[in-house]
Amino acid sequence: MPRYALLVEYDGAPFAGWQRQNDQPSVQGAIEAALTKLEPRAHTIAAAGRTDAGVHATGQVAHCDMEREWDPFRLSEALNFHLKPNPVAIVNCARVGDAWHARFDATERRYLFRLIARRAPLTFQDGQLWRVNHQLDAQAMQAGADRLIGLHDFTTFRSSICQAKSPVKTLDELTVKEVQHANGTEYQFHVRARSFLHNQVRSFVGTLERVGAGAWTADDVTAALEAKDRAACGPVCPPQGLYLAGVEYPVDPFAA
């Protein structure tokens, strides 16, 4: 069966997450339903990462197996037609080897978290950013973020229901950028690692927000990390504002 890699973009607000569920809408379910319109049978697709309810993606990667050969462009166009009106788009599609796997072949995942500081409620970007009503210190947040870079036991920063076999992960990047807008100050958290624990990024951002607000210091972040105790984590921030921004592979399947 020919295998195709899909570059997927979606607004996570109306979904209960990526993973297919029996009684709630999911991104996986929407794409599989569209595939059934093209080849009437049960379809199962695999993705590089399972995003939670309300989490968005600009660079999710999945793969699907088809019964016949499709021109990749025509496959993406057909899927986008049948995905309407869901806020899901197949941005690119490529034929890959039969053994290629969206999850297991990935060497890096990149996330972006967007936080905005403003008193007024959000209108056009409601559900796309986490809003706080106080200014934050970007330099202080970066100082706290630097304490998390490298190989660590991240027990403090993972969900109690995380299914990963080990809490030990290597965090390659956690960069805080401040962007001034006329309608507020946006803080962007750029995060890179081979793999992540459940709720790890949201736990990082919620903790660093406390540093930016002056309630925590960088030393408090170190103490929380070294505690290896979920109770030592700062508040976990909400899912809006979190984006799966990209996935890296030894060879980019979409390069051609």
Task: Give the largest Cα separation in the chain, rounded.
Answer: 58
In three-state secondary structure terms, 60 is: strand
Q: H-helix or E-strand containing 144?
A: helix 138-146
**Which residues contact residue 140 at a Cβ distance below 8 angstroms, ignoring those fewer than 6 apart?**
211, 212, 214, 217, 218
82/224 Cα distance (integer angstroms): 47
DSSP assigned state of 237: P
Catalytic entry in 11, 23, 52, 65: 52
154/14 Cα distance (integer angstroms): 30
Task: Identify whether 52 is a catalytic site residue.
Answer: yes
Packed helices 138-146 and 200-212: angle between N→C axes, nearest 10 degrees: 130
Task: Establish how many alpha carbons lie within 13 A of residue 98's alpha carbon, considering only the half-sphere containing its beta carbon.
Answer: 5
What residue type is 150 in one-letter code?
Answer: G
Q: Which sequence positions are flagged as catalytic? A: 52
